[in-house]
């Protein structure tokens, strides 16, 4: 019988790979930490949106008919208004907005809906208006300061302004002129002390 040859093996014995080195483990932890840091900016961790005001149901709003519906009907279907017009109690304003906190917890408006109901003096609905962002008017903020009476003293002037004003035996007495209490004078009112 002829001799069979087994396939040649390399001269090295088969070894189990060693544990990863500390630097390799550090690189894996650093990669995982940077991945988590990158995910922190994703919308997965974003703050929840908040609904504020009276959310108007479109079906309930459709039930209000100008000329026949009354204030009581509007209150029953939509609830009480968010606001009433400043100089016209017959204009009811329903405001609904969806906000989400932004940087510094300032609310960012995602969606805003405004419905204005105008009633007659008798309380009958005359008009239903839906307002959007195109109906808004820009408001500029004035950066003036309201003047206040008094002097413009700095913080250091306030802190050190009273140094040297009062003397221990001065005319104000022991407790700063509180009716002579503690200053050696006779108490005010009552019988004289002997």
What is the per-residue pLDDT across 63-90, written as a single tens digit (0 to 9) for each?
A: 999 999 999 999 999 998 988 988 888 9
Q: Write the burial class of residue 73 (CB in 10 Å: 0-12 exposed, 13-18 middle, 19+ buried).
A: middle
Please tell me whether the overall predicted TM-score, pTM, comes out greater than 0.85 for this model: no
Identify which of 186, 164, 161 has the alpha carbon closest to the alpha carbon of residue 173. 186
Domain of residue 108 covers 47-135
Domain-embedded: residue 63: yes
Closest listed residue to residue 174, CA positions, set 184, 164, 188: 184
Domain presence at residue 25:
no
Classify residue 165: in a domain, yes or no. no
H/E element holding 33?
helix 22-39
Comparison of pLDDT for 46 and 183, the residue scoring more: 46
Question: What average pLDDT does this structure show over 112-132?
Answer: 91
Give a yes or no: residue 80 inside a domain: yes
Output the pLDDT for position 40.
65
Q: Does residue 110 form part of some domain?
A: yes
19 domain residue, yes or no = no
Residues 172, 180 contacting (CB under 8 angstroms): no
Q: What is the DSSP string of 138-177?
A: --PPP------SS----HHHHHHTTTTT--TTSTTTTTTS
- Over residues 32-70, the pLDDT tens digits come to 888 777 766 665 566 788 888 888 888 998 999 999 999
Distances (CA, A) of 147 to 8, 150, 152, 153, 156: 99, 9, 10, 14, 21
Q: What is the tally of structural domains in the chain?
A: 1
Give the contacts of 5 (CB within 8 A, at least 6 positions apart): none
What radius of gyration do the chain's Cα atoms show? 40
């Amino acid at each position: 019988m002829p001799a069979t040859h087994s396939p040649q093996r390399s001269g090295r014995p088969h070894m189990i790979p060693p544990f990863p080195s500390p630097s390799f483990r550090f690189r894996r932890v650093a990669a995982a930490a940077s991945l988590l840091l990158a995910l922190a900016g994703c919308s997965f961790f974003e703050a929840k949106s908040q609904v504020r005001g009276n959310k108007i149901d479109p079906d309930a709003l459709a039930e209000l008919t100008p000329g026949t519906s009354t204030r009581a009907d509007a209150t029953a279907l939509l609830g009480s208004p968010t606001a009433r017009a400043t100089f016209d109690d017959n204009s009811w304003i329903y405001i609904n907005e969806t906000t989400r906190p932004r940087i510094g917890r300032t609310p960012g408006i995602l969606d805003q809906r405004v419905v204005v109901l105008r009633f007659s003096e008798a309380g009958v609905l005359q008009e239903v208006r839906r307002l959007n962002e195109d109906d808004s008017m820009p408001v500029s903020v004035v950066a003036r300061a309201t003047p206040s009476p008094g002097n413009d003293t700095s913080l250091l002037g306030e802190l050190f302004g009273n140094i040297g004003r009062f003397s221990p035996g001065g005319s104000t007495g022991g407790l700063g002129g509180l009716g002579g209490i503690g200053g050696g004078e006779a108490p005010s009112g009552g019988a004289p002390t002997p």
